[in-house]
Amino acid sequence: MFLSFVYFGVMAFSFMTHAQAQTTLRVTTIPEEAATEQVRKFTPLATYLESQLGMKVQFTPVTDYPAAVESLVNKKVDLVWFGGFTYVQAKLRSGGKVVPLAQREEDTKFQSVFIAKTDSGIKTLNDMKGKQVSFGSQSSTSGHAMPRGVLVQAGINPEKDFKRIAYSGAHDATIASVVSGKVDAAALDITVWKKFVTENKVDTKDVNVFFTTPTFFNYNWSVHADMPVALQEKIKAALLALNPANPEHAEILRLNRATRYIETKPENYKELEAAARNLGLL
């Protein structure tokens, strides 16, 4: 198997020629969870893509969300798993030269959750006033942009109404910050929360959801528009071909918290972009 892993930040990506890029597909993801978890989740998918594309796949975790954006904008990688907001950032940074290929079926109706300790007295968004609150990365869709939008719509100004705002950097770290008592409440990706509950990594008797947001479009796999269209279509076809009835495919989908992959398009993220602009995040 040709799969290789190299840990580095965005500045450490090595230069590759156009010819090399056609024999190696360089892949990264936003670090929504710890690097070790990213590797565990995406190793089977990378192996599958190698078999479908007939080329080496190099999966490389990056240090933060902006690094994932800059990596694709500067063509240091070929394929990136973005959240909706980081896709919008990459699209704008590249002058519209980022192409979303596929998203999980779940990403058409995604949600964020707000969590707190069950004995905290926090039962509503208004109960968060005067409390210490954590978001995920500042560039996270489900861990920051959309939850912040919900708060503003509820008449809450995080900078003025919260005692302190923290940014954990990743959804798993967000959960840990509430469990440990570092913050009183937090917002995160609903699928990460459900995974932690299912795997008994958090006790819902101690920490649980008190608010769930309306739905929105979220994550996708994106490439740079300069990638040959034939390769773009081949990658998309491979993702869409993942079949839950196939045991090997089912495991890949399970690790990616997906029922299946479906096509996506830039128009799906227009409302998110508008909301981010209204919040002053773009």
* Rounded mean pLDDT, 125-132: 98
pLDDT tens profile 28-53 = 999 988 889 889 999 999 999 999 99
pLDDT of residue 48: 97
User: How far is residue 39 from each of residues 45, 110, 138, measured CA to CA in Å?
Assistant: 10, 23, 23
Question: Per-residue pLDDT for 12 more than 80?
Answer: no
Rg (CA), the chain: 19
Contact 223, 99 (CB under 8 A): yes
CA–CA separation, 169 and 65 (whole Å): 8
pLDDT in tens, 175-189: 999 999 999 999 999
Beta pairing, strands 220-224 & 79-82:
antiparallel
